[in-house]
């Protein structure tokens, strides 16, 4: 998008736009408290994505009847955003306290977004990199969240994650192994804000 191009969200219904803005604002407040109370004392893998950037990406991807999953949904802002935009939206987060925060936020925003505590890594998956370095960065271990979601990974049309540096390859491999054939994987971050993949290929 060029600097002068209007944002896609300019076309949104004003009431929805206001709701999304309030969600983002509250998300940043929750993050600030989390940063002060948790991250400044102990390292934690949660850092939030740029919500406005994510909104622009989701607006390009949304279409009726799509199912959305956020890997590592933290405080739930992005999953709730997806729900408000019309996706059937789910989040999986390893930290159960963050899942409680996300559920509270969903309630306040009258959102049907669903959250489960667990791992986005399906049971039985093992990451084997081409280089032999099989470290999985900040991705934690835990019981797979899919059984509680009642949807395997292949049921999702759009999967979103904000990987730490070096975690992208494993996420792409996981999607190739377990994702639906037409599903898109959105990886937030880097110079372009978000990269969208389908079948392991970069779309944009």
**Of 23, 30, 48, 171, which lies in the binding site for ligand SAM, with binding defined by CB under 6 A?**
48
Q: Residue 137, interface with ligand SAM (CB under 6 A)? A: no
DSSP letter for each residue of the chain: --TTSPPGGGGS-HHHHHHHHHHHHHHHHHHHHHIIIIITTS--S-----HHHHHHHHHHH--TT-EEEEES-TTSHHHHHHHHTT-EEEEEES-HHHHHHHHHHHHHTT---EEEESBSSPTT-----TTS----TTPPP--BSHHHHT--GGG-SEEEE-PPTT-HHHHHHHHHHHS-TT-EEEEE-STTSEEEEETTEE--
Our CB check for ligand SAM shows the closer of 78 and 175 to be 78
Is 196 near ligand SAM (CB under 6 A)?
A: no
Which CB, 58 or 74, lies closer to ligand SAM? 74
Tokens encoding 60:
């390009």
| Closer of 121 and 196 to ligand SAM (Cβ) | 121
Site membership for ligand SAM, residue 72 (CB under 6 A): yes
Q: Which stretch binds ligand SAM (CB under 6 A): 46-54, 56-64, 173-181, 196-204?
A: 46-54
Q: How far is the CB of 140 from ligand SAM (least distance, A)?
A: 4
**Residue 105 binds ligand SAM, judged by CB under 6 A:** no
- 45 interacts with ligand SAM by CB under 6 A: yes
From the list 80, 89, 119, 170, which residue makes contact with ligand SAM (rule: CB under 6 A)? 119
Q: Is residue 167 a contact residue for ligand SAM (CB under 6 A)?
A: no
Which residues, in sequence order, are CB contacts of 188 under 8 Å at separation 6+?
A: 49, 50, 53, 54, 57, 160, 161, 162, 163, 194
Residue 20 as a binder of ligand SAM (CB under 6 A): the answer is no
- Measured from the CB atom, the residue of 13 and 157 that comes closer to ligand SAM is 157
Nearer to ligand SAM, 66 or 171 (CB): 171
Q: How far is the CB of 50 from ligand SAM (least distance, A)?
A: 9
């Amino acid at each position: 998008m060029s600097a002068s191009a209007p944002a896609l969200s300019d076309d949104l219904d004003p009431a929805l736009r206001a709701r999304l803005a309030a969600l983002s604002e509250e998300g940043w407040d929750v993050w600030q408290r989390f940063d002060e109370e948790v991250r400044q004392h102990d390292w934690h893998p949660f850092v939030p994505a740029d919500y406005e950037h994510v909104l622009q990406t989701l607006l390009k991807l949304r279409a009726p009847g799509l199912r959305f999953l956020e890997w590592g949904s933290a405080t739930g802002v992005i999953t709730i955003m997806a729900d408000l935009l019309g996706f059937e939206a789910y989040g999986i987060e390893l930290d159960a306290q963050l899942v409680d925060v996300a559920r509270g936020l969903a309630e306040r925003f009258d959102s049907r977004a669903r959250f489960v505590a667990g791992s986005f890594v399906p049971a039985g998956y093992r990451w084997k990199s081409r280089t032999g370095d099989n470290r999985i960065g900040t991705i934690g271990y835990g019981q797979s969240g899919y059984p509680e979601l009642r949807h395997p990974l292949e049921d999702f049309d759009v999967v979103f994650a904000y990987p730490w540096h070096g975690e992208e390859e494993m996420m792409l491999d996981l999607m190739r192994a377990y994702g639906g054939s037409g599903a898109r994987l959105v990886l937030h971050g880097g110079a372009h804000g978000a990269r969208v993949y389908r079948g392991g290929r970069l779309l944009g």
